[in-house]
Structure 1
Amino acid sequence: MERRNLFKAAAAATVITTAAGSAPAEAAPARFDADDPRFALAVLPDTQYLFDADSSDPAPLKETFAYLLQQRADDNIAFLTHLGDVTEHGTEQEIVLAGQTFTKIDGKLPYSVLAGNHDIDGSRDDQRGDSAYLRTFGPDRQAKSKTFLGTSKDGYNSAHLLDAAGRQWLILALDWRISDSGLEWARQKLQEHKNPAIVTTHDLAYADDSGKASLSGNGQRLWDNLIKDNDQIFLTLNGHYWPPGRTVLKNAKGNDVHVHITNYQDRYYGGAAMIRLYHFDLGRNRIDVETFAPWFLAKDPDKRTPLESETIELTGDVDRFSLEFDFDARFPAPKPAPRPAASVVDRHTAAYWRFDQAGLSVSDGATIRDLSGKGNHLTVRRLANSTADTLTVSGDHHVGAPAHASLRFDGGKGPDRGATLRTADNAPINSAKFLDGYTIEAFVKLPEPFVGDHAWMGILSWEGRAGDAGKHSGWSDLEPTCSLNISGERFLQYVLYSEVGDHNPTSWSHALPTGVWQHLAVVNDGQRSIVYVNGSKIARNPTQPAQGIATVGRPFVIGATSFDLKYGQGFYGWIGDVRITGRALRPAQFLPGGHYR
């Protein structure tokens, strides 16, 4: 648990007072980043024993709320959902005290609340009419949240739409006993908002002592009449029962629905307002779950009682776990439309090639035009031991590529198997030095499976022996002055002989994965080069000076790297759009645009 010591100071700040003994001024709400692919959903189960007549103690819940506000930016907490049984008896006194406690997060953290059987007349469904709960936590209060979509006519069921990880997520907070009209309302919300959806309610599933969950009677009704036939529902959360548990059910389309019970009222201090954080990570396709008590976390470790120390974090299989979840496969995001060349070309663009022109030919001698307008057109040329299938046009492409097409290269150590795209002998790019900086970009995908020996195959390069440029600092005077290659271990290698000085800085990436599109970028600011893969700076970028490219007037080439002006093998895989810009670009300015911030 002490891994949370990083957060202890922030959490403890809620109980620190000034030297004069007064409470410190409350900090502004932490910023939530709706575009970050990682965010958290906070889940708060039954707090009823903290609001129990004259034995009520809201301190643990106040500390939980303080923690969520203080950690909102660090954990990127999007929303809090309470699972019902806010109070023990649902009396005016208990409900009002709970409502006063919730003012801590009103307007600062979006949240939902739903009625458990202890908050209202549990013998009736959501058509029960007025109650202290409804007057305190009903539509009037919830309407102040920007995530609020509305309630059913009775006011006991609410819907919320979150913006998180660049998507929208629907949360349904359903009454302890939802009526048929309430179910119809919930189905309508699912039809209106075709977003990934989470159903929260008080009673849906219970678990045995091993943590294996099963639907309750009410849960079966919800499954049959709402969850099973609405594929957008992928997660359900409920309290009411203990012990906690989980299971996975298959819906009508055969897709997984994760069913989780969260309730700790049987634990020390009625659960002490213990929370669960569901950490959604769309980059890793995972949901990581942790359960802990901020009230105990905020206490001085040396002063925690044995039961506080024992309950500070729960790490059993039903309390701390991870789920593999392919969000794009289950909920495909709309794919960007192709972007015209004009949208990614400006006065700094030195060359731009793409492979989606109507009727594009890749036969020997065919021309692929430079769309920058600078005249750096490419000519197709196959190596000696190659066939028509060595180079073909493909519709495969990186999701962020402006062009929805690529070229499939089937090169190898044949020998002389592969294809090159070469500029003409008088193309401007051949002699460009880029002394003030440059950015070279390419989309690349390696085949899966990756068959054969393709060590040191070239993606792109400038022809010309380093020795002919007066450069002798590198591995060989016969290698080209600038090339982007892939090693036998699939490491990306950027080799440069700079124009100014006899320098040969070489950058190395991690092993590139197979079967997945990668965006590669080399950025030079006139002083040094930095290589990026998918908008992320790689580790091995030398600090050695790198001003300009020691070009010698020979062609620029896509699909291979020469040695001593000869080509022994070609690239193996797909190459998409290639752009060269005469200045250093930021990741946000790369071809994928908003994919990299």
Structure 2
Amino acid sequence: MQAGHTAHPADCSCPRTADLDGDGFAASSRRVFLRGAGALGAGVTAAGLLGAGPAFAATDGGSTGGHGGSSDPYGQTSMTPALHGTWRPDPENPRFTFVVMPDTQYMFDQDRIHPVPMEASFRYVLDPAARKGGTDENIVFLAHLGDVTNNGLAEEFAAATKVFDMLDHAGASYSVLAGNHDVRNDDQRGDTPYLDTFSPKRAAKTPSYHSSSPDGYNTCHILRAGGRKWMVLALDWRLSDNGFAWANAVIAANPTLPVIVTTHEIVGSYDDGTAGLSDYGQQMWDRLIKDNDQIFLALNGHYWPPGSTTMKNSAGHDVHLHITNYQDRYYGGAGMIRSYRFDLERGTIDVSTFSPWIRELAGKDELNPLAAQEIELTSPVDYFSMAIDFDQRFSGFAPVPPRTARPARRMLVPGTLAYWRFDSGAADGSDVAPGTSVQDQAGNGNDLVLQQVPGTPAHALTWTTDHHPDQPGHGSLVFAGQGGPVSGAYFQTVDRAPINRETFQHGYTVEAFFKVPQDWDSGRNGWSSMLSRAGSASLAGKNGPTATAEEPILALSLSSSIELQWNAYPLNQTGATTAWSHLLQQEVWWHVAVVNDGRVSKLYVNGCEEGRNPSTPAIGLTALDLPFLLGGYQWAGAVSQVFHGSVGDVRIVNRPLRLDQFMNA
């Protein structure tokens, strides 16, 4: 490690009492830690492991165990698993899981062969039934971080390969790299049992395989997940100059792909759970990671306990570096795996660590007290989340092109009564001039005309090119209105607009884009409307002598807490029907839609249903042949509040629309 580093010792610190052919591997490198599994089943020899017989002891359908027919789950040497289902991840789902398996060397340690925990982990990855509806429902890749075996012996790899056959038979995407217990020296070492087992020819059978380095010890995988392509580099123990050159070249040849680096050693952990570069890790950082902005996540085993750090690369962007290794824990790690659950919509990677094998034992009521502590690890270094704005993080090499403006005619779905957009006004930031009108793009004569509260100061309403990224028109209005006392400018439909008398008896869809500024004030700006209808409930004969009788017959408003409220008086009710949203953030563009199917009204925010009481029957909308107000709100027939914020495209349709017909679709 670097000077002053106090990480725990590397796994290579195991005692080595004898040297095999001068390769630095021990003939007897570890205590017999497996209860009842200190030797293979009767008749299984090293020759058998090399191909003359079964790779490990058979079991009775996986129910009785392989060590002398014992039913002891800790004595089983193989489950001879039968899988159900197929490897079929959803490549477009914005939520997917990347699974990591660290050092498994103590399962493949000379005659101490015990693959059951690894088999259970692979079964978890491959078989949806094994996950039982858990959160890892879209597993797209499994990465082994090296030290598959303890001594790099052919007989150890002969046992391990049988377990990895599970992945091959299912057609899974996975990578396996060499750790220091699997090989020696750098990646120019020539043939080894590791390379005989995990050759480029074998890797090429996986659906994600892209290429291998000339020596065969480094592999590149490219997979599709979350609607985009990702690169996984599985890098060998101690890259040579040629290895670094290959890794840099394969990244350069795929300049738009985000890259996950997996290798055996980069960082080691400190006592507080943070991590720091080892001496070799510093080489990895300097020669590969630092100047390749595409690399955002680097994972390694080798050291323990787990830890993590975040470093800034040459572009000033975060690179997350994690060590994950559990060989020092009960049962040599018990086949522990770590799940990296990507959620591109939330901008989060949720990380969890657990042993599928111990979970299976728990389901059979076969846990001992030590195993019970290992079902799932929940310390801050094993169970945590990382917030990543993926679009922003990847913008330097794969910028998301802004959505182009869509012509108004494309937004005129059947039943469009009015469509207003604000992308053809004056220069950005200029005032909306007195006498300005906004044409109804639907051509129905529902045009808007400017209104202003007397005494309103200058710059009360301005044009801007700012807009929601999914808004058809690339422009909006900035309202600087307020109440108490009321001031501001707003628009309203012309006196003879057909929409003024529309009652929407067969349903409707009302949509708008909007943004609340940072200087929103609950006292001055609360309960202002983006869209409302003139005329009070009392004037329409609604609500009787109540406190709300003077409110408008329709209002799409923001509360003082910046919650959306749809408050409207249907034809079939004397009272109002309402629907609410959650609290909305400021300085964020939102899309709102209120949809009524002729009976039920629902409120959607960014295409997500949010109505709190959508089941109340609500047929049509009360009309008094008075104007719609854009940015204005009346109380007792007089404007008492003007909107404070930005409003983009607004569309009103006389029927319910599907989500895929919304303006933001």
What TM-score results when the alignment is normalised by the length of structure 2? 0.81
Which residue number corresponds to residue 609 of structure 2?
537
Structure 2 counterpart of 1:148, which letter?
Y
Q: CA 1:476 to 1:212, structure 2 compared with 1: closer, same or farther past 3 Å?
A: closer
Aligned counterpart in structure 2 of residue 235 of structure 1, from 293, 297, 322: 297
Residue 421 of structure 1 pairs with residue 491 of structure 2: yes
Residue 52 of structure 1 pairs with residue 109 of structure 2: yes
Once the 2 structures are TM-superposed, how far is the Cα of residue 539 of structure 1 from its aligned partner? 4.8
Q: Deviations over 1:561-588 (max 9, x none)?
A: 2223211221001111111122212323
Which residue number corresponds to residue 100 of structure 2?
43
Aligned counterpart in structure 1 of residue 631 of structure 2, from 559, 562, 566: 559
Which residue number corresponds to residue 103 of structure 1?
165
Give the match's secondary structure for 1:86. Answer: coil
Query: Which region of structure 1 is more displaced relative to structure 2, 495-504 or 528-537?
Result: 495-504
Aligned counterpart in structure 1 of residue 214 of structure 2, from 153, 156, 172: 153
Aligned counterpart in structure 1 of residue 204 of structure 2, from 132, 143, 168: 143
Give the match's secondary structure for 2:641. Answer: coil
CA distance in 2, matches of 1:428, 1:130: 82
Query: Which region of structure 1 is more displaced relative to structure 2, 44-53 or 520-529?
Result: 44-53
Aligned counterpart in structure 2 of residue 576 of structure 1, from 640, 643, 648: 648
Assess if the C-alpha contact under 8 Å between 1:241 and 1:261 holds in 2.
Answer: yes
Q: Deviations over 1:41-90 (max 9, x none)?
A: 21110111112232111111111111123239842322211101112233
Once the 2 structures are TM-superposed, how far is the Cα of residue 24 of structure 1 from its aligned partner? 10
CA distance in 1, matches of 2:552, 2:87: 52
Once the 2 structures are TM-superposed, how far is the Cα of residue 39 of structure 1 from its aligned partner? 2.6
- Across the two proteins, how many residue pairs are aligned to each other? 574
Which residue number corresponds to residue 436 of structure 2?
366
Residue 62 of structure 1 pairs with residue 119 of structure 2: yes
The within-5 A match list for 1:369-448 is 369-413=439-483, 415-448=485-518
Once the 2 structures are TM-superposed, how far is the Cα of residue 30 of structure 1 from its aligned partner? 6.8
Residue 118 of structure 1 pairs with residue 188 of structure 2: no
The within-5 A match list for 1:11-22 is none
Once the 2 structures are TM-superposed, how far is the Cα of residue 399 of structure 1 from its aligned partner? 1.6
Q: Deviations over 1:337-373 (max 9, x none)?
A: 2222233222222221111126478212212122223
Assess if the C-alpha contact under 8 Å between 1:410 and 1:571 holds in 2.
Answer: yes
Which residue number corresponds to residue 577 of structure 2?
505
Q: CA 1:287 to 1:350, structure 2 compared with 1: closer, same or farther past 3 Å?
A: same
Which residue number corresponds to residue 536 of structure 2?
465
Q: Deviations over 1:309-336 (max 9, x none)?
A: 1222222332222333333332233322
Which residue number corresponds to residue 190 of structure 1?
251
Query: Which region of structure 1 is more displaced relative to structure 2, 34-43 or 567-576?
Result: 34-43
Once the 2 structures are TM-superposed, how far is the Cα of residue 396 of structure 1 from its aligned partner? 1.7
Q: CA 1:99 to 1:572, structure 2 compared with 1: closer, same or farther past 3 Å?
A: same
Assess if the C-alpha contact under 8 Å between 2:602 and 2:611 holds in 1.
Answer: no
Which residue number corresponds to residue 339 of structure 1?
406
Aligned counterpart in structure 1 of residue 393 of structure 2, from 324, 327, 330: 330
Once the 2 structures are TM-superposed, how far is the Cα of residue 381 of structure 1 from its aligned partner? 1.8
Which residue number corresponds to residue 251 of structure 1?
313
Assess if the C-alpha contact under 8 Å between 1:406 and 1:576 holds in 2.
Answer: yes
Which residue number corresponds to residue 202 of structure 1?
264
Q: CA 1:581 to 1:188, structure 2 compared with 1: closer, same or farther past 3 Å?
A: farther
Query: Which region of structure 1 is more displaced relative to structure 2, 447-456 or 395-404?
Result: 447-456
Once the 2 structures are TM-superposed, how far is the Cα of residue 501 of structure 1 from its aligned partner? 4.3
Q: CA 1:372 to 1:257, structure 2 compared with 1: closer, same or farther past 3 Å?
A: same
Once the 2 structures are TM-superposed, how far is the Cα of residue 524 of structure 1 from its aligned partner? 0.5
Give the match's secondary structure for 1:453. Answer: helix
Once the 2 structures are TM-superposed, how far is the Cα of residue 289 of structure 1 from its aligned partner? 1.7
Give the match's secondary structure for 2:155. Answer: helix
Q: CA 1:90 to 1:454, structure 2 compared with 1: closer, same or farther past 3 Å?
A: same
- Tell me which structure has the larger Cα radius of gyration: 2
Structure 1 counterpart of 2:329, which letter?
R
Which residue number corresponds to residue 7 of structure 1?
none
Give the match's secondary structure for 2:638. Answer: coil
**Identity rate of aligned residues, in percent?**
48
Q: Deviations over 1:395-428 (max 9, x none)?
A: 2211221222211100001523122211111222
Query: Which region of structure 1 is more displaced relative to structure 2, 549-558 or 289-298?
Result: 549-558
Give the match's secondary structure for 1:104. Answer: helix
Q: CA 1:539 to 1:529, structure 2 compared with 1: closer, same or farther past 3 Å?
A: closer
Residue 356 of structure 1 pairs with residue 423 of structure 2: yes
Q: CA 1:33 to 1:387, structure 2 compared with 1: closer, same or farther past 3 Å?
A: farther
Assess if the C-alpha contact under 8 Å between 2:187 and 2:238 holds in 1.
Answer: yes
Query: Which region of structure 1 is more displaced relative to structure 2, 78-87 or 360-369?
Result: 360-369
Query: Which region of structure 1 is more displaced relative to structure 2, 474-483 or 246-255?
Result: 474-483
Assess if the C-alpha contact under 8 Å between 1:39 and 1:280 holds in 2.
Answer: yes
Once the 2 structures are TM-superposed, how far is the Cα of residue 94 of structure 1 from its aligned partner? 2.4
Assess if the C-alpha contact under 8 Å between 1:350 and 1:580 holds in 2.
Answer: yes
The within-5 A match list for 1:313-324 is 313-324=376-387
Which residue number corresponds to residue 586 of structure 2?
514
Q: Deviations over 1:120-176 (max 9, x none)?
A: 3x12x2223333333432322222333222222222212223333334322211111
Give the match's secondary structure for 2:534. Answer: strand
Residue 456 of structure 1 pairs with residue 533 of structure 2: no
Consecutive unaligned residues of structure 2, counting only runs of 5 or more, are: 1-60, 65-78
Structure 2 counterpart of 1:116, which letter?
G
